[in-house]
Chains A and B, each alone.
Chain A
Amino acid sequence: MQRILYLIQKEFRQIFRDRAMIAALFAVPFIQLVILGNAITTDVTNVDVMVSDLDRTPMSRHFAERFSTTEYFHLVLMEPDYNALRGHLDNGRAKLAIVIPPHFQRDVITGRTPVIQVLVDGIDGNSAGVALSYLARIAEEHQAQLLQTEPALGRSLREARIIRSEPRFWFNPELESEVYIIPGIVALILLIITVFLTSMGIVREKEIGTLEQLLVTPIRSTQLILGKIIPFSILGFVEITVAMGFIYLLFGIGVEGSLWLLFLESAIFILTTLGVGIFISTISETQQQALFVGWFFMIFAILLSGFFIPIANMPDVIQYLTYLNPLRYFMVILREIYLKGTPLHYLLPETIAMAAFGLMVFSAAVLRYRRIIK
């Protein structure tokens, strides 16, 4: 036991010796929070739009004006020449062209339901779809307003029966994407810190030869492993605690559910990341290789975790694949506890899956490690 304490002390001394390391440990989460928290959003705003008003009547102008006053769209130009629109889409000046047809005003008044054509750059299909739905909403509002100011227009509409919807957004009434993304970052930080520190820490001792020196001492391999993973786990916990503090200060998002449950689940998750870290160290000769392999693992773990791409959207085969990803479970657990305050018994399937994975990965890695250093 005393030996483990010395190992832990040594590890902390090495970490805190290196100023760059400390900076990385605390700046990285901060930067990640700020960038990811603000960048990941499918709220589409400021879509570059151009309007081609071929009618030039008060009614058409009135409609066109709507696009210069909304945050959803950014009106880049009024293009009177219909044939020039395609060129503007080609060189990327605008993503959307709204074409108000000739005789628009006349047709509206006579109830002939004119058609406004919208030319769309469909490359970013998702944003285009969202932009189109904004457009539909704006058109709807515009019509409602028209009908109010000029009820005479509504002759043909008098018979229509319309069902409207009124949305209620639970758990996140303002639809802020940070609320969902940011708790996920806690999981990422825990993952990155523990996997990299563990794998690199072990490989570094291999590289500089101190591992060999330790192996000729009477220390047991279990003590050696514990001496590595205890300090890194502690660091992982400090790290997520700091991150949660940042989150509260920067974004005002607190933990809805039990903090203890959150730490318990983190402890279960850490089993996996430590296991992966140890495993990587057993297959790497140099820190460079460890970094490569660790990075490789993380790119896929993060993609398949539902962190920024909802798993439900993925093809079935890939959805099955995500069940093999422990981060997937932790991501759900963390968000549920953070946002909804979901109690443990609704999270049991995820917790059990995560624990099973953790135990498996961890014991396999430790066994492999022990076999290799023997």
Chain B
Amino acid sequence: MSSEHLRFTGDPALPASEFAVSATDLTKRFGTFTAVDAISFTVRKGEIFGFLGANGAGKTTAIRMFCGLLPPTSGTANVAGYNIRTQSRYIKQTIGYMSQKFSLYEDLTVAQNIEFYGGIYGLTREHIARKTEQLLEELQLQDRRNKLTASLPLGWKQRLALSVSLLHDPSIIFLDEPTGGVDPISRRNFWRIIYEIAGSGKTVFVTTHYMDEAEYCNRLSIMYRGRIIEIGHPGELKERYGLDSMQDIFIHLVGGDIRPENTP
């Protein structure tokens, strides 16, 4: 897939960083509540990087900062070599984002959703048309192209949302609990696609609270009450703690207290 059309003018000195994401003491406070507490880590290009944590642990807040949806209270981070405080416009052209809500327009048809988001990312008409055909074929949705998105089963909506967020060929894709509410088989299929995406050289940044999903990641950070309390390869972590599953490690680390004490 060529990315010619994605390069836009006004690009500042192209980043040469080897890291797709790097955070330094990144902090977000809402009033007195600290949602994300001075986290620092790096994500290498082409990695599948996971954020594991209970609801309210700060995963979503962190991901929203990387995507430029929330300004950090203190600390900083670079995404695709761009600073999230000052260069969020460039970041937005290079990332894809899909949240747990899928964010498709339910009252538009499948084809119209693809066309719309393609247009928003500045793809040309021909390019959109080509992409649409390609996507519909991949998703086997050809006969549903003119059906309302609302009529699709959840699993298909989710895959469509993922494909739509990849329309502009981003180099990093952020997935915020992408598999919430989806059945196990769809979930497994979804992860197969995530591997394909990573295989094509893109970086995948994913949050989850499913322990089995955590196992699929190349590298994993466990968040608890806004802090990263452990980071590493799943196998490496199992070895370090002498435990068999991420589930056990997680319970070991947070002591069974997987309920957040004060959800915002």
Q: Are A17 and B108 in contact (CB under 8 A)?
A: yes
Question: What residues on B are CB-neighbors of A17 within 8 Å?
Answer: 107-108, 148
A107-133 near B? 1/0 per residue, CB < 8 Å: 000000000000000000000000000
Question: What residues on A are CB-neighbors of B103 within 8 Å?
Answer: 208-210, 212-213
B120 proximal to A (CB < 8 A): yes
B97-112 near A? 1/0 per residue, CB < 8 Å: 1010111111110001
Question: What residues on A are CB-neighbors of B69 within 8 Å?
Answer: 212, 215-216
Question: What residues on B are CB-neighbors of A6 within 8 Å?
Answer: 115-116, 119-120
A28 vs chain B, min Cβ distance (A): 20
B75 proximal to A (CB < 8 A): no
Q: Are B97 and A216 in contact (CB under 8 A)?
A: yes
Q: Are A2 and B95 in contact (CB under 8 A)?
A: no
A298 and B99 CA atoms in complex are apart in Å by 36
Nearest A residue (CB) for B92: A218
A296-326 near B? 1/0 per residue, CB < 8 Å: 0000000000000000000000000000000
A39 proximal to B (CB < 8 A): no
A68 proximal to B (CB < 8 A): no
Question: What residues on B are CB-neighbors of A3 within 8 Å?
Answer: 119-120, 122
Instruction: Tell me whether chain A's interface is mostly helix, strand or loop, or mixed.
Output: helix
Nearest B residue (CB) for A17: B107
Among A2, A13, A14, point to the contact of B119 (Cβ < 8 A). A2
A232 and B120 CA atoms in complex are apart in Å by 19
Among B93, B105, B122, B174, point to the contact of A10 (Cβ < 8 A). B105
B89 proximal to A (CB < 8 A): yes
Are A214 and B105 CB-contacts (below 8 A) given A10-B112, A13-B112, A209-B99? no
A190-220 near B? 1/0 per residue, CB < 8 Å: 0000000000000000001110111111110
Question: What residues on B are CB-neighbors of A9 within 8 Å?
Answer: 116, 119
B121 proximal to A (CB < 8 A): yes
A21 and B38 CA atoms in complex are apart in Å by 48
A1-32 near B? 1/0 per residue, CB < 8 Å: 01101110110011001100000000000000
Q: Are B122 and A218 in contact (CB under 8 A)?
A: yes
Question: What residues on A are CB-neighbors of B174 within 8 Å?
Answer: 216
Question: What residues on A are CB-neighbors of B122 within 8 Å?
Answer: 2-3, 218
B85 vs chain A, min Cβ distance (A): 12
Are A216 and B68 CB-contacts (below 8 A) given A5-B119, A208-B103, A209-B103? yes
Q: Are B119 and A217 in contact (CB under 8 A)?
A: no
Q: Are A216 and B95 in contact (CB under 8 A)?
A: yes
Question: What residues on A are CB-neighbors of B148 within 8 Å?
Answer: 17
B103-140 near A? 1/0 per residue, CB < 8 Å: 11111100010011101111000000000000000000
Nearest B residue (CB) for A6: B119
Question: What residues on A are CB-neighbors of B67 within 8 Å?
Answer: 216
The 18 sampled A-B contact pairs (Cβ below 8 Å) are A2-B119, A6-B116, A6-B120, A7-B120, A9-B116, A10-B108, A10-B116, A13-B108, A14-B105, A17-B108, A18-B107, A212-B103, A216-B69, A216-B92, A216-B97, A217-B92, A217-B121, A218-B121
17 more A-B residue pairs beyond the given contacts A2-B119, A6-B116, A6-B120, with a C-beta to C-beta distance below 8 A: A6-B115, A9-B116, A13-B108, A13-B112, A17-B108, A17-B148, A18-B107, A208-B103, A210-B104, A212-B99, A213-B97, A213-B103, A215-B69, A216-B92, A216-B174, A217-B121, A218-B122
User: Which 10 pairs between the two chains have the least Cβ-Cβ distance?
Assistant: A6-B119, A213-B103, A209-B101, A216-B97, A218-B92, A218-B93, A216-B67, A10-B116, A209-B103, A210-B103
